[in-house]
Amino acid sequence: MKRGTKRLLGGLALFAGSLGATGAYLKMKRKMKTKQDRSSGAQGDVWARPGMAVIFRAELMPGREKEERTFRIKELLPSGRVLLDGATGEHAEKEFESAQ
């Protein structure tokens, strides 16, 4: 083959490879986006919601009555932890009494 033909075929092979890689990337990106949409829209299985009252376990706040250990949830974080009105820091589900 002539030198020009080799370059042309090499360029076409490079172009075809880049098209294939781009297509695979876009397909993966689209697939991940639909997974994220499904997971972010599924808010039905969370243990707490903003505005909900929660009660700290008595072991964590000894000597305080139930009313003094009760706080309202200000914000639910993506990690599953919560921010409370009137209490500092992030708190996990295991720090609270179970709802009965």
Please check whether residues 9 and 37 belong to one and the same domain: yes
43-83 confidence digits (pLDDT tens): 556 788 899 999 999 888 899 999 999 999 999 998 889 99
* Domain assignment of residue 47, yes or no: no
* Domain assignment of residue 100, yes or no: no
Share of the chain above pLDDT 70, in %: 87
* Domain assignment of residue 71, yes or no: yes
* Domain assignment of residue 48, yes or no: no
- Tell me the whole-structure pTM to 2 decimals: 0.53
- Give the C-alpha distances (Å, rounded to integers) separating 95 from 39, 82, 92: 25, 11, 6
22 pLDDT more than 90: yes
* Domain assignment of residue 19, yes or no: yes
3-state secondary structure of 55: strand
Number of domains in the chain: 2
- Give the C-alpha distances (Å, rounded to integers) separating 45 from 20, 34, 54, 91, 93: 39, 19, 17, 18, 13
* Domain assignment of residue 2, yes or no: yes
The boundaries of the domain holding residue 24 are 1-42
Q: 41 or 64, which is more confident?
A: 64
Per-residue confidence band for 36, with pLDDT thresholds at 50, 70 and 90: low
Please check whether residues 58 and 32 belong to one and the same domain: no
Share the mean pLDDT of the chain: 87
98 pLDDT more than 90: no
